Structure 1
């Protein structure tokens, strides 16, 4: 009996010791958890004192571009230029086989010669008829008929002259010539190819000026006006900024919800040429009552409830804050960050690093 009581007492003592040790371990764990705070990086929200800058991609284009073509159809006999060639006014670019148009011109000349002979005969006949009428040897009807025949022959000569002029023009059109100083940008036809009137043979760029063409979203197009300044940069010339002016603002969507815009470069350099990739930046002045808040894009999260940021509310403890989730409405993504339209105020502290490890109400250490 005494042995059983001793064993029972030892067991009870053993379990009491286990409970005490377990409680002590939990207290230590809780104390450690309370002591270890998650560290986050924050950024103060400030209202921009300047306008908002938007940057879009585009490409350089010659401000004078032309597609050159023959005015007549035919078999292309020669192409005398290559891409990159510089053209001067009067330079022959390409020729068609002129044989058909030469025959037409010869035929028109023969018809003119025949019409002129007919006119001479009609004039002579009219003069004879007029003399006979004055001597009362023929009737007035015969005189009128001779006069009408002479006038008809004169009209036929005039028409034949026009036909000959047109035939000679067509013969001259068998040569495609440059009309101003240009550079060949592209060739679109081959020798011995049968081409039609108006079919593009070469593309040329003329003049020294350059434009930059780009598309902008519908949220921006209403803010653009002709004459507005823009800053343009080219990856091929990384150390130089160019100034441009808006010359064309599209009124119809070019693809989906984007609109075409053309920028004329005010100053150029020898390194610029059509086709270069460009970055175009516009600065939009904010309205008097408008505040623009820009935060890093990584600070903004999104879930089924919408977009949000985590704010840090300061406590009495130094560098210690409480996490608060705040729903926001975002605007455009800029080169400096994401625009916040609604949800934050100037002076708020937004979590910018450690966003994935915080939650509402969590106490954190502010770096």
Structure 2
């Protein structure tokens, strides 16, 4: 017999409760979603309203070369300053406490003149101990020598053994060696005592005093700076385009604008730099004054005049070939117009070029004396752009 299927039927109230529960859950879900949306929109609005910090403008570095007319005979002047041909920091060879300083800044000194002294007590006592040690070593040496002579006579008369003779000879030689060592120690102690006095190695003037009385200093620590007044030299920076025309031994003129209404002196080129200094491709050149004058001192501003002569009478500029560019308007170079603080502005100059030489490409028109022609970074700059240089 087949059993009837049982069906479970929910009452109307149960169905109502289930619907109410589902409705509350859906409402909670939508409210939560709405709140998250409001919070997200709030932060988006805040972030959009905030002012963006302006990006720092990049100032590109460039390298330039200062150019001058070449060909014919021309005089070029370059600024520099005088300095003593001999400048040295003087120091004690031993350490100790400074007891006296006899010189002040600006004082003139002569060779051998005492400039400062250390307290010599410790070094004098050391010298006395070394002297006493030497006296003792001399006495022992005399005694050992006399003993050796006595033993040698006994040995010659067959009154003592060979071992006694060897011992006496060794004692004599050892005593003599000890005496020589004591003599060297005394000489060293005497030298160290003399080192407590700082003397001028040459005639000159005191430029700087960097220590005080009662100050404890170490050996080699600078005490005073001495500048020699026997001669002066001038250092100038010469552009790379001209450095090959300057030779050691060449004669130049040095003009002092600050003394005696612009005195002129002759000078000799003694050093020509082989490596550029700074981003401006300049080379150091040193000239030494041929005359002496009591008005000349270190630190004076001067102008050094170089005479450049050439068999080629046509005037021109010479720049590296890669410094010349070309566009639809023709050939050009970029020139830096300096504005101070190592910042400048790029200017485009149209040029008329000549032949390509071993030194660079010739330019007959478009440049002026002293123009700073850009030689590196050309592809990344444009007229009016600010650049930095050293």
| TM range, smaller chain | 0.5 to 0.7
Flag the 1:187–1:245 CA change in 2: closer, same or farther, 3 A.
same
Asked if the contact 1:226–1:246 (Cα under 8 Å) also holds between the matched residues in 2, the reply is yes
- Superposition pairs for residues 278-357 of structure 1, below 5 Å? 278-288=302-312, 290-292=314-316, 306=332, 327-328=350-351, 341-343=363-365
CA RMSD of superposed structures (Å):
2.9
Asked if the contact 1:69–1:199 (Cα under 8 Å) also holds between the matched residues in 2, the reply is yes
Shift of 1:196: 2.2
Asked if the contact 2:249–2:270 (Cα under 8 Å) also holds between the matched residues in 1, the reply is yes
Q: What secondary structure does 1:159 align onto?
A: helix
Asked if the contact 1:307–1:329 (Cα under 8 Å) also holds between the matched residues in 2, the reply is no
Q: What secondary structure does 2:115 align onto?
A: strand
Whole-angstrom CA distance in 1 between matches of 2:99 and 2:174: 42
**The structure with more strand, counted as a fraction of residues:** 1
Deviations 1:156-183 (A, max 9, x none): 1011000000001100110011233221
2:291 corresponds, among 249, 257, 267, to: 267
2:230 corresponds, among 208, 211, 215, to: 208
Deviations 1:243-280 (A, max 9, x none): 22211112233444332211112234332211101111
Whole-angstrom CA distance in 2 between matches of 1:123 and 1:49: 86
Q: What secondary structure does 2:86 align onto?
A: strand
Shift of 1:184: 1.4
Asked if the contact 1:184–1:203 (Cα under 8 Å) also holds between the matched residues in 2, the reply is yes
Runs of 4+ in 1 over 6 A off after TM superposition: none
Match of 2:188 in 1: 166
Does residue 206 of structure 2 align to residue 184 of structure 1?
yes
Flag the 1:188–1:108 CA change in 2: closer, same or farther, 3 A.
same
Deviations 1:202-252 (A, max 9, x none): 122224322111222322222211122222222313433322221111223
Does residue 218 of structure 2 align to residue 196 of structure 1?
yes
Shift of 1:286: 2.7
Whole-angstrom CA distance in 2 between matches of 1:162 and 1:70: 21
Q: What secondary structure does 1:153 align onto?
A: helix
Asked if the contact 1:242–1:268 (Cα under 8 Å) also holds between the matched residues in 2, the reply is no
Q: Flag structure 1 segments of 5+ consecutive residues without an equivalent.
A: 1-46, 294-302, 309-325, 331-339, 345-367
Q: What secondary structure does 1:83 align onto?
A: coil
2:109 corresponds, among 78, 84, 87, to: 87
Asked if the contact 2:271–2:287 (Cα under 8 Å) also holds between the matched residues in 1, the reply is yes
Q: Flag structure 2 segments of 5+ consecutive residues without an equivalent.
A: 1-68, 318-326, 335-348, 354-361, 367-390
- Superposition pairs for residues 108-123 of structure 1, below 5 Å? 108-123=130-145
Does residue 260 of structure 2 align to residue 249 of structure 1?
no
